[in-house]
Amino acid sequence: MIEIKELKKEFSSKQVLFDHLNLTINSGDKIAIIGPSGCGKSTILRYLLGTKMPDSGQILIDGQDVTKLKSRDLLKLRLNMGMLFQSAALFDSLSIEENIAFPLIENYGFSLESSINKVNYVLELVGLEGVNKKMPYQLSGGQQKRVGLARAIITEPKYIFYDEPTTGLDPVMSTNIENVIVRLNQVMNITSIVVSHQKSTILRTADKIFMVHNHALLEPETPDTIEHTDNEIIQSFMRGTELNAQ
Ligand SMILES: Nc1ncnc2c1ncn2[C@@H]1O[C@H](COP(=O)(O)OP(=O)(O)OP(=O)(O)O)[C@@H](O)[C@H]1O
Ligand SMILES: [Mg+2]
């Protein structure tokens, strides 16, 4: 379970990013966070990973407050979390299988050889079997994203965070990535947060949709209610995303 309580962040310029932001995510929930550019969506994911800290408030992951943990405990907690970064963030000089095995080798003392079965399993899940020996530059942007996704899930994390998984991809590749996310949701009992601007991604991958507005989160919608919501702020945001809809 993830609980964000009364989160506040203000920059030295007095610009307020968050004011009393609250969010509860139960195990198994699939949520989406939407909102205009610069409203702080990626920052929320960084707070959950503990790579950035708010001014005040609690960020509880399974009861442990990320803002209070020592770095060793934070690293341990982070093993429960997979993150797909906006850019796939692969290591250029490592092969695809080395990239994907990296978290197992780095955090769990696996060798490449002993990781290979798991590597092949996640490659199959993302629909990229057989690319083991290729280098990142030999794959398209969308394929690299799927490799990033394979790397994020190889440790079988309890939580997975996707930052704009489909933004900037062509419609076919976008649908592919959405299919992979939906499939992962079915295969693994994972709790997921998707940050996205793309309507199809939001509607297909989440059961609950939260919008950042006025430095906090609005009451959540579901894929069904969001289409007919009375909330004009959400209405107008969704109309905007429709322009990008695939
Ligand atoms: N040191 C700082 N001083 C002032 N503002 C900052 C500072 N660091 C970050 N910000 C602001 O915090 C905001 C949060 O950015 P974030 O990347 O979380 O937004 P986002 O919702 O993910 O946007 P996008 O949709 O474009 O990815 C931005 O408006 C950024 O300008
Ligand atoms: Mg962002």
For residue 159, being part of any structural domain is answered with no
Q: Which of 3, 103, 150 is nearest to 62 (CA)?
A: 3
For residue 108, being part of any structural domain is answered with no
Q: Which of 62, 25, 72, 21 is nearest to 44 (CA)?
A: 21
Centre of ligand 1 to C-alpha 4, Å, is 19
Tokens encoding 233: 């702020």
Would you state the pLDDT for residue 246? Answer: 42
Q: Which of 225, 226, 221, 164 is nearest to 195 (CA)?
A: 164
DSSP string covering 160-216: EEEESSSTTS-HHHHHHHHHHHHHHHHHS--EEEEE-S-HHHHHHH-SEEEEEETTE
45 C-beta closer than 6 A to ligand 1: no
For residue 199, being part of any structural domain is answered with yes
Residue whose CA is at the smallest distance from ligand 1 atom 11: 38
Tokens encoding 63: 């009861």
pLDDT tens for the 246 residues of the chain, in order:
999 999 999 998 889 999 999 999 999 999 999 999 999 999 999 999 999 999 999 999 999 999 999 999 999 999 899 999 887 789 999 999 999 999 999 989 999 999 999 999 999 988 899 999 999 999 988 899 899 999 999 998 999 999 999 887 788 888 988 988 888 888 878 999 999 988 899 999 999 999 999 999 999 999 999 989 999 999 999 888 765 544
DSSP 3-state assignment of 4? strand
Number of domains within the chain: 1
43 C-beta closer than 6 A to ligand 1: yes
Range of the domain at 54: 1-66+194-246
Centre of ligand 2 to C-alpha 222, Å, is 22
Query: Which residues fall within 8 angstroms of residue 242, CB to CB, at 6 or more apart?
Result: 199
For residue 21, being part of any structural domain is answered with yes
Tokens encoding 86: 């906006």
For residue 198, being part of any structural domain is answered with yes
For residue 59, being part of any structural domain is answered with yes
Centre of ligand 1 to C-alpha 5, Å, is 20
Asked if residue 21 lies in contact with residue 4, where contact means CB atoms within 8 angstroms, the answer is yes
Would you state the pLDDT for residue 17? Answer: 96
For residue 54, being part of any structural domain is answered with yes
Ligand 1, from 9, 33, 37: best to mutate by most atoms within 8 Å of Cβ? 37
Neighbouring CB atoms inside 10 A of 189's CB total 10
Q: Which atom of ligand 1 is nearest to the CA of 212?
A: 21
For residue 130, being part of any structural domain is answered with no
Buried b (16+ CB within 10 A) or exposed e, 4-31: beebbbeeeeeeebbeebebebeeebbb
37 C-beta closer than 6 A to ligand 1: yes
Residue whose CA is at the smallest distance from ligand 1 atom 25: 37
Q: Which CATH number fits the domain that encloses residue 52?
A: 3.40.50.300
Determine the Cα–Cα distance for residues 60 and 7; give it in Å rounded to an integer.
11
Cα 102 to Cα 96, 117, 215: the distances in Å are 10, 14, 36
Would you state the pLDDT for residue 35? Answer: 93
Give the number of the ligand closest to the Cα of residue 46.
Answer: 1
